[in-house]
Structures are given as C-alpha cells and as structure tokens.
Amino acid sequence: MALRLVDAETGSEWDFTGWAVNGPLTGRQLARVTVLDDYWFGWKTYNPNTCLLIINRRLAMKHYGRNLIPGLVAIVVAASSAIMTRAQEPVTILEGAALTRVVPAGLYYQGLSAPTQMRNAAAARFGEKRYLIAALVDTSGYAADVRAKYEGFFITDSPIKINGLDLNVGAYGFGFSADGKMQILDLAGNQVLSTSTSKDNELKRPRPLMMSKAGADLRLYNGKDYVNITAK
C-alpha cells in the first residue's frame, strides 16, 4: 500500500514531489525548503547561539555519535536571524476608509488609463506595512481583444505567491477566463503568470471581486472562482 501524505488543515493529499493531487488544494505545489547537512562541531563554531532539541538522545548517540547532527531525530533551531524563517505575517482585509486610502482612482494599461470600480475593489495588508490591492476597472475604452483578458489592476508592494507561483513587486493587469484561469499581465499586456482557479461552491454571496482570509492564506475571488495568495 502506497504512503499518502494528507495535511490536517485542508485534507488535501500530496505526492512526494510536493504537488497536491487531491482535495481543495489540488494543483498547488509546496515551496522548497533548503536543508543543510553539516557536522555539529562545524555548525556550532559558526552558529554559536544555536539551540539543539534532541527527541531521542540515546538513539541519536548510538547511531550518529557526538559530532554529527542527529538527522531525523533532532530539530535544529537557529537563533541567528540570517537562517531563521520569518513567521507568517497576519493578514488583514481592509474595509471602509482604510480601503479607500490605498486604492488608486485608476491605472494605466496598454495606452489608456481606466477608472477604478470602487464597488469591486479589495485590498489586504500582510503584517504592518505590506499591501496587496486589486480592483476591476471600466474597460469600455479598450478594444475587444484587450477586454477579453484584462479586467482590472493588481498591485503588490512585496513579493508574493499566487497558487505557489512567484510574483514580484509591481503593478499589473489581471483577468479571469471562462476556462478557469487567472492571468497576470504586465502593463504592456504581456502575460507574466497564469494559474488555474479553484471553485468555492460553499460561497453564499459571490461578488465580481473580493478577498477573504483562508487560514494563513489570502483568497482573491472572481465570483466563486478563486486563487490562493501568500506573502513571501
């Protein structure tokens, strides 16, 4: 019987390459975590503030001795900020005046500036100073081929991941397609990122554009279709 990796939070099933193959997160890939193999005496010399938690000391000493980091039976927690992973920053959905303050009145895209549909604008803050803003715009001035893929603007002032795909700081156009895709476009109309959406059939009141929190992630919705966004 093959081993199954199932996360407790969503019930999604993952394969050993890091891809979700079943469940709510199907199609997402886990971020790779760099692992360093080192001898304990060497590590301790260059990272003197390290704390070492040994889950089973007797077993560790029997199989690894005193000088080798006890691999599978130890967790190394480094106090140095250079090697510590930053804790997941809390996500705040902006509303009211806080939303109005950060959403621009319009944005340039492919030769035109289109006004923002404030009723279909959304923004979120990661931690204290990192913002993500998305809004639909009035695309009536654009040619039909542009309107087919461009619905609004997407602004992030810090690197993020959309469904596990990297997106750098910048202002972009975006659009959701009928075949279940979200596209991120640069301001010249070139595709930067394309990813499949998931469908939230439990959503009671879908809107043309909205954001909501989903655990440590942020969801950007177009109707019942959504993508997951995480801060890097």
Predicted local distance difference test score (pLDDT) of residue 56:
57
What DSSP letter does each residue of 83-125 carry, written as one string? TSPPPPPPEEE--HHHHHHHS-SEEEETTEEEEEEEEEEEEEE
In a domain, 219, yes or no: yes
If you average pLDDT over residues 203-231, what whole number do you get?
92
> Is residue 83 scored above 70 in pLDDT?
no
Q: Are residues 226 and 199 in the same domain?
A: yes
| Choice between 70 and 58, residue whose per-residue pLDDT is larger | 58
**What is the percent of the chain where pLDDT is above 70?**
78
Interior CA angle at 33 toward 185 and 43, to 5°? 140
Predicted local distance difference test score (pLDDT) of residue 164:
92
**What is the percent of the chain where pLDDT is above 90?**
56
Q: How far apart are alpha carbons 59 and 52 in whole angstroms?
A: 15
Q: Are residues 225 and 110 in the same domain?
A: yes
> Is residue 88 scored above 70 in pLDDT?
no
Q: Are residues 109 and 160 in the same domain?
A: yes
Q: Are residues 69 and 116 in the same domain?
A: no
Q: Are residues 111 and 47 in the same domain?
A: no
Predicted local distance difference test score (pLDDT) of residue 23:
85
| Choice between 172 and 63, residue whose per-residue pLDDT is larger | 172
> Is residue 73 scored above 60 in pLDDT?
no
> Is residue 52 scored above 90 in pLDDT?
no
Q: Are residues 158 and 61 in the same domain?
A: no
Q: How far apart are alpha carbons 209 and 182 in whole angstroms?
A: 13
**Are 196 and 180 in contact, with CB atoms under 8 Å apart?**
yes
The first and second tokens of residue 72, run together, are 């599978």
Q: Give the structural domain span for 128.
A: 91-231
The number of domains in the chain is 2
pTM for the structure as a whole: 0.64
**Are 120 and 138 in contact, with CB atoms under 8 Å apart?**
no
Q: What are residue 99's phi and psi, to 5 degrees? A: -70, -45
| Choice between 27 and 208, residue whose per-residue pLDDT is larger | 208
Calculate the average pLDDT of the chain.
83
In a domain, 152, yes or no: yes
Of the pLDDT bands very low, low, confident and very high (cuts 50, 70, 90), residue 60 is low
Report the candidate in 84, 82, 102, 81 with the shortest Cα–Cα distance to residue 93: 102
Q: Give me the amino acid identity at 54.
A: I
Residue reference for tokens 């999604």: 12
Predicted local distance difference test score (pLDDT) of residue 59:
56
> Is residue 145 scored above 60 in pLDDT?
yes
Q: Are residues 154 and 197 in the same domain?
A: yes
Report the candidate in 75, 227, 87, 116 with the shortest Cα–Cα distance to residue 164: 227
| Choice between 6 and 63, residue whose per-residue pLDDT is larger | 6
If you average pLDDT over residues 23-39, what whole number do you get?
75
Q: Are residues 110 and 221 in the same domain?
A: yes
Q: Are residues 167 and 191 in the same domain?
A: yes
> Is residue 156 scored above 90 in pLDDT?
yes
> Is residue 99 scored above 60 in pLDDT?
yes
In a domain, 27, yes or no: no
Please state whether 17 falls in left (phi above 0), alpha (psi between -120 and 50) or beta: alpha
In a domain, 83, yes or no: no
Predicted local distance difference test score (pLDDT) of residue 71:
45
Report the candidate in 44, 36, 50 with the shortest Cα–Cα distance to residue 66: 44
